[in-house]
Amino acid sequence: ADMFANEEGGPEPDWVITEREQFADFRDINKDGKMDKEEIQHWILPQDYDHALAEARHLVYESDVDKDQKLTKEEVLDNWNMFVGSQATNYGEDLTRNHDEL
């Protein structure tokens, strides 16, 4: 109700319909109409999802200007704010230390 309250009885927004479908198809594994502890754990920490790989792909996709699947020093420096804010770099902490590979 904080995000959407259908007080007027009108049609639901598309995002509400999508969320209902996501819940029914993927979140409510045992189909009891609610999420138990195991379902919440699976949602938050799915076993088949590699967070580091997803973040790395995101950084390359957003920073790779010439789309050659390789980052140059210039591409990284031009998008430094994305890397500093990335979970893959511990919110920029790793960028403040000296690294031979950089």
Compute the residue count for the chain.
102
Given a cut of 90, is residue 71 above it in pLDDT? yes
Identify which of 67, 65, 63 has the alpha carbon closest to the alpha carbon of residue 55: 63
Give dist(CA 57, CA 48) in Å, integer. Answer: 16
**Residue whose tokens read 């902490």:** 93
The pLDDT tens digits for 10-65 are 788 898 889 999 999 999 999 999 999 999 998 888 888 887 888 889 999 999 99
